[in-house]
Amino acid sequence: MAREYSQKAALVTGGARGIGEATAVLLAARGYRVVIADRDAQAGRKTAAETELAFMRCDVARESDVRACVRQVLKRCGRLDALVNNAGIASPVSGPVEKLALTEWNRRIGANLTGMFLMAKHAAPHLRRSRGAIVNIASTRALQSEPDTEAYVASKGGVVALTHALAISLGPAVRVNCVSPGWIDTKGAKLRRADHAQHPVGRVGQPEDVAELVAFLLSDAAGFASGQNYVLDGGMTRKMIYV
């Protein structure tokens, strides 16, 4: 007789630290069985030990890794209800466009965009079965830029577009949304008063702020939300700046 798995399961990529870790911890607190996947095995094992979550090493830019990761989640949890595509290269600046090496361009596109496509591709049949949901993590840099960030910005803009494409292709069985965080302090940096003051809400964001929105978008309470990009930046992208 086949074993029955009643507890919902979530896979969080880039779950070893920052937004991914905060999201994984919150989803576990909300009742999910959570598996975190990360390319950094040392950080992943450390986080897994501290949070008592399952960890799998996975380079999301490699299809063989992604395929194996999804299979292991199914083997461990018996189902998949939620995919949080968070993994990627966080550093936005890659140097002047005239000197941007194709290898650096491809590395960011691979980790930040192709990885989300591959995860969605291999998770889709299982998410359809559970009528689950996907949340992709993009960035406000998909909407605005600073110099020398072409590869990162292109990858995150692609994530926003991939989100609505997936929402149409996988709906109505699977809902797909995107969160574009602004300035999120993922490393406990020493922040200045001016850093907080430039946000209309009066502070820099925390990983837990993003985790709360992701958890909502995965929940039944967000059942009418799909194909959308939710900007979470403390209001910064709505603020007019005159020099």
Residue 1 lies in a domain: no
> Residue 221 belongs to what domain range?
9-238
Residue 141 lies in a domain: yes
Give the rounded percent of residues in the chain with a pLDDT score beyond 90.
Answer: 92
Residue 163 lies in a domain: yes
| Residue range 91-120: mean pLDDT, rounded | 96
Residue 3 lies in a domain: no
Residue 4 lies in a domain: no
Is 5 labeled as catalytic in the residue annotation? no
**Backbone φ and ψ of 216, nearest 5°:** -65, -45
pLDDT at 102 over 70: yes
d(CA 147, CA 161): 22
pLDDT at 85 over 90: yes
Strand partners, 101: none
- pLDDT of res. 1: 39
Q: What is the CATH number of the domain that holds 57?
A: 3.40.50.720
For the chain, give the mean pLDDT.
95
- Which tens digits make up the pLDDT trace of 185-224? 998 889 999 999 999 999 999 999 999 999 999 999 999 9
pLDDT at 2 over 60: no
* Greatest Cα-to-Cα distance within the chain, rounded to the nearest angstrom: 70
Residue 90 lies in a domain: yes
Catalytic residue, chosen from 5, 32, 152, 230, is 152
Q: How confident is the model at residue 4 (pLDDT cuts 50, 70, 90)?
A: low
pLDDT at 114 over 80: yes
d(CA 242, CA 129): 51
Which helix (H) or strand (E) covers residue 232, if one does? Answer: strand 229-232
229: how many CB neighbours lie within 10 A of its CB? Answer: 18
Residue 202: exposure state from Cβ atoms within 10 A (0-12, 13-18, ≥19): exposed
d(CA 19, CA 15): 7
Structural domain total, the chain: 1
Contact indicator for 34, 12 with CB cutoff of 8 Å: yes
DSSP conformation class of 205: B
Residue 177 lies in a domain: yes
What is the chain's alpha carbon radius of gyration, rounded to the nearest angstrom? Answer: 18
| Residue range 96-112: mean pLDDT, rounded | 96
d(CA 23, CA 43): 16
Give the rounded percent of residues in the chain with a pLDDT score beyond 70.
Answer: 98
